[in-house]
A and B are shown apart, each in its own frame.
Chain A
Amino acid sequence: GDSVTQMEGPVTLSEEAFLTINCTYTATGYPSLFWYVQYPGEGLQLLLKATKADDKGSNKGFEATYRKETTSFHLEKGSVQVSDSAVYFCALSPNTDKLIFGTGTRLQVFP
Chain B
Amino acid sequence: EAQVTQNPRYLITVTGKKLTVTCSQNMNHEYMSWYRQDPGLGLRQIYYSMNVEVTDKGDVPEGYKVSRKEKRNFPLILESPSPNQTSLYFCASSFRGENTEAFFGQGTRLTVV
A and B: real partners?
yes
Choice from B41, B98, B103 contacting A32 with Cβ under 8 Å: B98
Q: Which of A94, A101, A103 contacts B98 (CB 8 A)?
A: A94
Report whether A103 and B4 are in contact in the complex, using a CB–CB cutoff of 8 Å: no
CB pair B90–A44 under 8 Å, yes or no, is: yes
Count of A interface residues, CB-CB < 8 Å: 24
Q: Are B99 and A97 in contact (CB under 8 A)?
A: no
Residues of B within 8 A of A46 (CB): 101-102
0 or 1 for each of A75-111: is its CB under 8 Å from B? (1 = yes): 0000000000000010001111111011110000000
Write the chain B residue with the least CB distance to A96.
B98
Q: Does A51 contact B (CB under 8 A)?
A: yes
Q: Are B42 and A104 in contact (CB under 8 A)?
A: yes
Q: Give 29 pairs: A residue, B residue, CB < 8 Å, sorted on A.
A: A32-B98, A32-B99, A42-B107, A43-B90, A43-B92, A43-B105, A44-B92, A44-B102, A44-B104, A45-B104, A46-B102, A89-B43, A93-B98, A94-B98, A96-B98, A97-B48, A97-B96, A97-B97, A97-B100, A98-B45, A98-B58, A99-B43, A99-B45, A99-B102, A101-B42, A101-B44, A102-B42, A103-B41, A104-B43
Does A61 interact with chain B (Cβ within 8 Å)? no
Cβ-Cβ contact count across A and B, 8 Å cutoff? 60
Chain B, interface size: which category?
20 to 34
Interface contact B90-A103, CB-CB below 8 Å: no
Instruction: List 9 tightest A-B contacts by C-beta distance, closest first.
Output: A43-B104, A103-B42, A93-B98, A101-B43, A101-B42, A44-B104, A46-B101, A97-B31, A43-B106
A43-B106, A98-B45, A101-B43 given; name 4 further pairs at CB < 8 Å.
Answer: A43-B104, A44-B102, A97-B98, A98-B58
A62 to chain B, nearest CB (A): 15
For the complex, give the distance between the alpha carbons of A102 and B42 in Å: 6
Which residue of B is nearest A31, CB measured? B98
Chain B residues with Cβ below 8 Å from A43 are 4, 90, 92, 104-107
Which residues, 1 to 40 on A, are CB-close (under 8 Å) to B? 4, 31-32, 36
